[in-house]
Amino acid sequence: MKKGLFITVEGIEGAGKSTAIQSVSEALNKTGTEHIITREPGGTPLAEDIRHLLLKPRDEEVSSDTELLLMYACRSQLINTVINPALSRGIHVVSDRFNDASFAYQGGGRDISLDFIKLLDKWVLHDLKPQLTLLLDLPVEIGLTRASKRGNKDRIEQETLVFFEKVRTSYLERAANEPDRFVIIDATEPPQKVRKDILSAIETLIKKYS
């Protein structure tokens, strides 16, 4: 049995990841490809509990290391109970964010050593790596304006413009370093164009591994 493919969708707040994931699911459904959708942080009952701890606004300052370690605790649980079992059964997995988010948010945004994150990455992920990462990119000001229309902001969404600029830069640097895995989608384009670009990327992926 062939292993399933692992597809991740990344981007800053307001980039349109939820809509993009719907387009990915639609493309996979058209080919009759069995798949599941998950998210980070979260994706399992335990990981969702940790997500709540991570994102809840609070008076107590959350240290950058605490945030990073909780993210990887979520990730470990998700990988071991959802992602790896599905892939081993030939089921494709589509995830709203994965480890690239830690390099962007905690590495770029929080200035945590990338070498330290790489150590955690190796320990938790082992050889797991997405075959395709869709990076929805747009200027930070536009993304935050879109995100503000969703209502109350979580703890990370309350961060500064400078923080999110660093996150965006980190994402783009990772995409530049791994062009075979990343496809950058211009999230400022009209929805129809964004959807077309996503469907094209999924079609190319399916052909590559068929």
State pLDDT tens for residues 48-94. 999 999 999 999 999 999 999 999 999 999 999 999 999 999 999 99
Residue 113: the pLDDT is: 97
pLDDT at 19: 96
Give all strands (DSSP E) within the chain, no chain letters.
6-11, 35-39, 92-96, 132-137, 182-186
Sheet containing strand 132-137, edge to edge, reads: 35-39, 92-96, 6-11, 132-137, 182-186
For residues 17 and 19, give the distance between their C-alpha atoms in angstroms, rounded to a whole number. Answer: 5
pTM recorded for the entire structure: 0.96
Is the pLDDT at 156 greater than 80? The verdict is yes
pLDDT score, position 126: 95
- What pLDDT digit, counting tens, does each position of 167-203 carry? 999 999 999 999 999 999 999 999 999 999 999 999 9
Report the percent of the chain where pLDDT is more than 90.
Answer: 94
pLDDT score of 151? 79
Q: pLDDT tens digits for 142-155? A: 999 999 888 789 99
Nearest alpha carbon to residue 83 among 70, 97, 69? 97
Q: How does the average pLDDT of the chain come out, rounded?
A: 96
**Closest by alpha carbon to 202, among 31, 14, 3, 15?**
31
Backbone angles phi, psi at 77, to 5 degrees: -65, -40
What is the distance, to the nearest Å, from the Cα of residue 15 to the centroid of all Cα atoms in its chain? 11
Instruction: Name the pLDDT band for 135 (thresholds 50, 70, 90).
Output: very high
Question: How high is the pLDDT of residue 150?
Answer: 84
Reduced to 3 states (helix: H, G, I; strand: E, B; else coil), residue 135 is: strand
Task: Give the mean model confidence (pLDDT) for residues 5-30.
Answer: 96
Tell me the pLDDT band of 12, cut-offs 50, 70 and 90. Answer: very high
Count of other CB atoms within 10 angstroms of residue 17: 20
Q: Helix or strand or coil: residue 57?
A: coil
* Residue ranges of domains in the chain, CATH in brackets: 6-209 (3.40.50.300)
Strand partners, 198: none
Confidence class for position 96, pLDDT limits 50, 70, 90: very high
d(CA 47, CA 61): 21
182, 174 contact by CB (below 8 A):
yes
Cα atoms in the Cβ-side hemisphere of radius 13 Å centred on 195: 10
* pLDDT, position 171: 98
Orientation angle between helical segments 191-209 and 17-30, nearest 10 degrees? 50
H or E element that contains 111: none
The pLDDT value given to residue 149: 86
